[in-house]
Structure 1
Amino acid sequence: MILFIIYTLLKKYFSQSGKKVYLKVGKFLNAFIYRLLIYLLIRFIAFIPILAIAQNSQLNYKIIRNGTDIGWLRLEKNCAGNKSELLLVSEIKTKAILPITMFARESSTFENGKLIYSSQFRKTNGTTKLDKQTKLVIDRYEVLENGEKVKLAFPTINTNLLSLYFQEPITSNSVYCDKQQCFVKITKTADGGYKMKFPNGNSNCFYYKEGICTNVKIDHTFYSAEIIINP
């Protein structure tokens, strides 16, 4: 009988103690989870601007000829998952015998590092001079211009002239020129640039700082100009 009473009292005591321990552990866990959620929320909010910069970027340039500012050029890069979209828009206002206004818009879409679509559109004094689209169809590229389709011989394009504004071609020895529908050789120059000479005799030379294109020297048959990044 006495043993039974002692057993009952001990059971009651430990039962009450267990409840107290349970309550203390519960309060500790609630406080810990709350602090953890606050910490993760702060880290996530702090990470949002970095994520936005990584996914979307914009570069602005001015176009100089003979020391005179004759136009502007804007580039945008938007990334989502394994797809990236590049856009170039520019306008030039100059004068030869008569005033000349040139507008250009180019775009490129890459998926898994491969070009799947590009377009080039140019106007001079309101008259369309170029309107071309390149599209990957199954395993070959098709070029549409002036209502005619042409199939290209090469199956893969990993980089084109537009992409060079966002990526220094450190390991590349050639780049695709959408306008002339061919790959051109990349030659490293003595002053640190990357020069491309096109079949028509014109050439561009890209210069970089920390992986970003800072200026492009253009050597055309009839003129020379330079595209310089705005600080």
Structure 2
Amino acid sequence: MITALLIWLFKKYGRPFFYQHKSFFNQFTIPVKRLSVTILFVALSGLAFGQEQTLNYNVLHSGHTVGHMKLQQRKDGGDTFLNVASDVKMKFIFSIQVCIREDAHYSNGKLLSSHVSRMVNGSQKADKSTKANGESYQLTDGSKVSSINQKQINNNLTLMYLQEPVGLSQIYSDNFQQFVKVEQTGSHTYRINLPDGNYNFYTYANGVCSRVDIHHSLYTIQIQLA
């Protein structure tokens, strides 16, 4: 009964009053609407920006900075794109400059394709790609083409910079084009044994890789989060 009375009162007195003073109310409602649209646009822009992530690293040898590495991740719906660029210049008997470019594309957690390019003193030493092909992956190493009988690859070494490999026993190496062993050696620290006899240690902090210790038969270098 009270509800019906309120509706009747609004129709008889409230609605005529509102239309009579419509221009007055518009002075407030229009700016509020515009403000709401602006806030929504800023929020959506922030969400889009949040889909991109960049990590910068310093490369050190014997305590001295000898290069830099940048990792970029971009997400677009179910697709994730990774890009790594590193430039290192060291001097042994002679100077050596190594430039490495790595790309990977995941879709809904599955690796669709990856590419590794390595230049040493201006000469290309590696040009390798991995591409999903039905129930397997096609591997390209220069002019050599082969395949790996693997239906789905969910993690590769590039992704290790962004995700701690908790519970993983192996991970895909785009450079060696095969799975390599993952061994946890301490709190947030993992060892990767490589097919050439070398090995790396990955250490994590706040969910991302903060340091990589690369142990090569000829040298040892560190990659540290800047």
Structure 1 length normalisation: TM-score? 0.84
1:195 matched to which residue of 2? 191
Equivalences for 1:126-145 in 2 at 5 Å?
A: 126-145=122-141
Paired-residue identity, %? 30
1:214 matched to which residue of 2? 210
Residue of structure 2 aligned with 1:161, choices 154, 157, 162: 157
Q: Does 1:184 align with 2:177?
A: no
Equivalences for 1:5-24 in 2 at 5 Å?
A: 18=11, 20-24=13-17
1:82–1:36 Cα change, 3 Å: farther
Which deviates more from structure 2 when the two are superposed, residues 132-141 or residues 44-53? 44-53
1:33–1:189 Cα change, 3 Å: farther
- What SS does the corresponding residue of 1:155 show, helix, strand or coil? coil
Alpha-carbon separation, structure 2, partners of 1:91 and 1:31? 59
Residues 50-81 of structure 1, C-alpha deviation per residue, up to 9 Å, x if partnerless?
31342111111110011111111011111111
Shift, 1:38, TM fit:
4.5
1:186–1:24 Cα change, 3 Å: farther
Q: Does 1:71 align with 2:64?
A: no
- The answer to whether the 8 A contact 2:182-2:192 is kept is yes
Shift, 1:188, TM fit:
1.3
Which deviates more from structure 2 when the two are superposed, residues 17-26 or residues 98-107? 17-26
- What SS does the corresponding residue of 1:201 show, helix, strand or coil? coil
Alpha-carbon separation, structure 1, partners of 2:74 and 2:54? 9
Paired residues, number: 216
1:6 matched to which residue of 2? none
2:4 matched to which residue of 1? none
Which deviates more from structure 2 when the two are superposed, residues 188-197 or residues 31-40? 31-40
Residues 182-205 of structure 1, C-alpha deviation per residue, up to 9 Å, x if partnerless?
212221122531111112111111
Q: Does 1:95 align with 2:91?
A: yes
Alpha-carbon separation, structure 1, partners of 2:209 and 2:33? 41
Alpha-carbon separation, structure 2, partners of 1:171 and 1:197? 16
Shift, 1:40, TM fit:
3.6
In structure 1, list runs of 5 or more residues that go unmatched.
1-16
1:24–1:175 Cα change, 3 Å: farther
Alpha-carbon separation, structure 2, partners of 1:125 and 1:210? 36
1:19–1:85 Cα change, 3 Å: same
Please provide the CA RMSD for this pair. 2.6
In structure 2, list runs of 5 or more residues that go unmatched.
1-9
1:106 matched to which residue of 2? 102
Q: Does 1:59 align with 2:50?
A: no
Structure number with larger C-alpha Rg: 1
Residue of structure 2 aligned with 1:41, choices 37, 40, 56: 37
1:138–1:69 Cα change, 3 Å: same
Shift, 1:178, TM fit:
1.1
Structure 2 length normalisation: TM-score? 0.85
1:139–1:36 Cα change, 3 Å: farther
